[in-house]
């Protein structure tokens, strides 16, 4: 079944640790995205990719990095986590059509940095 997967679902870590949030999709979509979502707030785009070896920064200033070595895989890395990074991180891929982009989201990673 085509889907988009994120791991881990929950992560609690200490300040200064390096972490990688995993995202994989089986739909063959070229475009993938990372969004940050805080309670009651809109989603903010932090990174996106048009395809393999293509990555761009989004609207929200972020200290994270991403890579796109394979079409299906779009991991996000924080080199040194801080309490300000505590948030929900959503990965998405999109299907292009004449009506524009339709986003398919993973279930998210809830990150807590102590």
- List contacts with another protein (CB under 8 A): 4, 31, 40-43, 45, 48, 50, 90, 92, 99-108
- Cβ 16 to another protein shortest distance, Å: 28
Pick between residue 67 and residue 95 the one whose CB is nearest to another protein. Answer: 95
Is the Cβ of residue 58 or residue 67 nearer to another protein in the bound state?
Answer: 58
Token pair in block for residue 69: 């070595």
Among residues 17 and 30, whose Cβ is nearest to another protein?
Answer: 30
Helix, strand, coil shares of the chain, percent, nearest 5, are 5, 55, 40
Q: What is the Cα–Cα distance from 39 to 51, expressed in whole angstroms? A: 30
Minimum CB separation of residue 37 from another protein in Å reads: 9
| Look-up of token digits 């292009």 | 96
* Max CA distance (Å), the chain: 45
């Amino acid at each position: 079944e085509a889907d988009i997967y994120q791991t881990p679902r929950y992560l609690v870590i200490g300040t200064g640790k390096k972490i990688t949030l995993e995202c994989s999709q089986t739909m063959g979509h070229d475009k993938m995205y990372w969004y940050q979502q805080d309670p009651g707030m809109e989603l903010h785009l932090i990174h996106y990719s048009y395809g393999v070896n293509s990555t761009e920064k989004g609207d929200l200033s972020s200290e994270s990095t991403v890579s796109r070595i394979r079409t299906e895989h779009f991991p996000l890395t924080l080199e040194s986590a801080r309490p300000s990074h505590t948030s929900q991180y959503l990965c998405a891929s999109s299907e292009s059509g004449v009506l524009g982009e339709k986003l398919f989201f993973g279930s998210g990673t809830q990150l807590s940095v102590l």
